[in-house]
Chain A
Amino acid sequence: MRVLRSSAVAVVAAATALTAVSGCAEKSDTKGADTVRVKATDDKCEVSTTSFPAGHVKIAVENKGSKVTEVYVYAPGDRIVTERENIGPGTKAEITATIKAGAYEIACKPGMKGDGIRQKITVKGEGAAPKSDPELDKAVAEYRKYVQAQADETIPAAEKFAEAVKKGDLDEAKKLYAPSRVGWERTEPVAESFGDIDPKVDVREDGLEKDQKWTGWHKLEKSLWDEKKIDEDDKKLADQLMTDLKDWQKRVGTAEITPTSMANGAKELLDEVATGKVTGEEERYSHTDLVDFQANVEGAEKSYELLKPVASKNDAALAKELDKQFAELRKLLGDYREGDGFKAYDSVGKDDRKKLSDAVNALAEPLSKLAGAVVK
């Protein structure tokens, strides 16, 4: 069954490639970008052309409204291709970007708020992306909102933690440590996709490269729990953590997110649990592993819930199994709740860890099939 299906996919892909090539040949004489003019007002976003060739694109924005505005170019699923903020009333701005062929939206956001006023545009030429499924685009867009919200919510939580560290308040810092990580843990695969942020904020001592300075949460974790003191360097690290997290918050909207990467991200979150949390390696000093565990599962479940409308159409049995296993794992984790958080993981015995591990396997195994159910 699958073999047939994949060869069918291959044929379609080959056909698309051919079309793309011939398309390119026709358009070769029109290469070189015209300027796309955008007139932004308080209630309109007028675009001079809704169809232009791929390549370097110049977008000239004029803010004719009374509010400060921003202009975004979104790929399907609201991936930010390029954007310009803070375009004041009566001012102009020029944005240049390399844009591949495909369907996009230009959004003006008067007052720099909300989803913006949108115009659909088509970029023609080489390497046209296959026609996307609006249902999946919606899932990606929703997930993108979720990821951004997690970053946005992390900042104040981390701010509180950083303040406590800077005040030298050991007990308060310990209390605020795990909650400051929840948003990050829920969306870690997206954050990791940037490559440079994760090693600054979430690296463990054993993960350090040669000559890499240890920064981020886990260095502070070690100071708080293992060394039981906060020194001047830690206070600087708290500031550094905030700088790095704000960088994440700012860039997270530009992450490449596809339905497949969402599904794989969900599976990766469970992998994180299986290799780092169930073993107690992630939070080896604070033993707050179960807080991360819960956040990883929540993040995975969010991806799944958004993909479920499509996945359940393609593979109803898989969706049923995933519903069941998410529920079981949630229930099992519930047994370890204590106050606002969870039991310290060093108080969770071998038998209980085995149960948690089995439940993670039970969920992760069907979850590894989600990507397949989404692309079918």
Chain B
Amino acid sequence: MTDPTTDPTDPTDPAADASTAETGRGEAAPAPAGPSRRSLLGWGGAGLALGATAAGGTAAALRTGGDARPAALSGDAVPFHGTHQAGIATAVQDRLHFAAFDVTTTDRDALVKVLREWTAAAARMTAGHEVGEGATGGLDELPPDDTGEALGLKPSRLTLTFGVGPGLFEKDGKDRFGLRDRRPKALVDLPAFPGDNLDAARSGGDLCVQACADDPQVAVHAIRNLARIGMGKVAIRWSQLGFGKTSSTTPDAQTPRNMMGFKDGTRNVSGTDTAALDKHVWVGEKDGPAWMTGGSYVVARRIRMHIETWDRTSLKEQEDIFGRDKAEGAPVGRTRERDEPSLKAMLPDAHVRLAHPDSNNGATILRRGYSFTDGTDGLGRLDAGLFFLAYQRDVRDAFIPLQSRLARTDALNEYIQHVGSAVFAVPPGVRDGDDWWGKALFA
């Protein structure tokens, strides 16, 4: 994947330029006031790159804090090792492949072996290297270790984020791997919410891996190779491709729009706000269990949008439903997107009003969702929506109360349906080459 002859940080490299131009489109298309000072810093003032100075990309280079991941360009590698797993506070990449796995083996050692192999492969792939002994070479009689479709592609800010679901600890009343007592209290089975129409084949899972990258092929390659390594021990239960990130963790960047055409995730937890991350996202030492300190909990929901009926809805109703205007994204009664919303000015069932932390005793989640379109549904309707991903310190104080409220009263419910659901405990970061996904859990 990495080509030593092209340096992605070299602004004179046309390849690097092209890749940043892409970020430019995704994250900061109509740059409001030309290149910022920050972006110039990131480039050392390289004039060539001005057209491509995506605030998101360069801002990421300047992020500091516990999870600082200086990934300036979309082609770069994001460090795999660290206190927290990458792919949570990391500046949101353009593409997603999220996979949930069932553990099919009953052998704890075999599972541990997969997790070790996964970690080694993840460290290699996120750095832009091929898996194992590579995609070519080796014995002619053997299939190559790496599947090869990422050859020649850049690391593309690939992050691989690993989580464990409730079923790993206990399934059908059985303590499968001697882990029952280690299950975090915060890893609850999500309650049924009003309006849920969950497909079991698109829900749950004993393990998950979230692959995010700026190149969809890099993300797909990562999941494909991990699935292959795991065959016989773990099997993919479901997976979801996503595009067009719907939330940003880089507030300087343009807020992306969801499939309904609205800016989504304006008030998200910033990846640079260490205080907010510690308060709302990272599991603290006192929260317990110890193996989760520095980790987080992720809720994944496949939210199907009734695209066609939404498109037939008047602009006024659309804006009322969200509580923001469509063009600027400004809250009702305000003029700019980032103006403080006046919740009382909005209709009582407006989405923003109901979802706002002030309406939920401060409950805050870090959103990292993506739009999806899985073609059409056989009735000629777009099978599209939001693949919602939310990271939080404890689902019991965050997603569950929030969704309980939204599911009952959100005006948006007429146009959406939750069709898939899963929750995972996301352990802290892999510290170094001796550490592996789940090591502290299995210790």
Measuring CB to CB, which residues of chain A are less than 8 angstroms from any residue of chain B? 1-3, 5-6, 9, 260, 263-264, 321, 325, 350, 354, 358, 361-363, 365-366, 368-369, 371-372, 374-376
Contact = CB atoms under 8 A, between A and B. Distances in A.
Of the listed residues B133, B139, B228, the one surrounded by the most CB atoms of chain A closer than 10 A to its CB is B139
B228 A375 contact: no
B133 A260 contact: no
B143 A368 contact: yes
B201 to A, nearest CB: 7
Contact of A6 (B104, B137, B143): B137
A286 B138 CA distance: 43
B235 interface: yes
Contacts of B181: none
Interface string B131-156: 00100011111110000000000000
B232 interface: yes
Contacts of B232: 321, 325, 361-363, 365-366
A57 B233 CA distance: 55
Contacts of A374: 141
- Judged by DSSP, the binding face of B is loop
Sort A-B residue pairs by CB-CB distance and give the 10 closest, nearest first.
A362-B232, A372-B142, A371-B141, A358-B235, A365-B231, A2-B138, A361-B231, A368-B143, A372-B139, A372-B141
B382 to A, nearest CB: 24
A362 B231 contact: yes
B132 to A, nearest CB: 9
A362 B231 CA distance: 5
Contacts of B141: 260, 263-264, 371-372, 374-375
Contacts, number: 50
Nearest to A374: B141
A275 to B, nearest CB: 16
Given A1-B133, A2-B139, A363-B232, 10 more contacts: A2-B137, A2-B142, A3-B138, A6-B137, A264-B141, A350-B201, A368-B142, A372-B139, A372-B142, A375-B139
Nearest to B145: A2
Contacts of B235: 354, 358, 361-362
A374 B140 CA distance: 12
A372 B141 CA distance: 5
A363 B141 CA distance: 18
B14 to A, nearest CB: 32
Contacts of B142: 2, 368-369, 371-372
Interface of B: 104, 133, 137-143, 201, 228, 231-233, 235
Nearest to B142: A372
B285 to A, nearest CB: 39
A264 B201 CA distance: 33
Contact of A3 (B104, B137, B140, B233): B137
Contacts of A363: 232
Nearest to B235: A358
14 contacts: A1-B133, A2-B137, A5-B139, A325-B232, A354-B235, A358-B104, A358-B235, A365-B232, A366-B232, A368-B142, A368-B143, A372-B142, A374-B141, A376-B139
B226 to A, nearest CB: 13
Of the listed residues B104, B133, B142, B235, the one surrounded by the most CB atoms of chain A closer than 10 A to its CB is B142
A363 B140 CA distance: 21
Contacts of A264: 141
B289 to A, nearest CB: 31
A69 B382 CA distance: 73
A140 to B, nearest CB: 15
Contacts of B140: 6
A372 B132 CA distance: 16
Contacts of B104: 358, 362
B137 A369 contact: no
A354 B231 CA distance: 13
Contacts of A361: 231-232, 235
A365 B228 contact: yes
Nearest to A1: B133
A366 B232 CA distance: 9
Contacts of B143: 368-369
A360 to B, nearest CB: 10
Contacts of A365: 228, 231-232
Nearest to B105: A362
Contacts of B201: 350
A3 B104 CA distance: 33
Contacts of B138: 2-3, 6
Nearest to B107: A324
A223 B141 CA distance: 42
Nearest to B200: A351
B371 to A, nearest CB: 27
A107 B104 CA distance: 52
A16 B137 CA distance: 22
A287 to B, nearest CB: 22
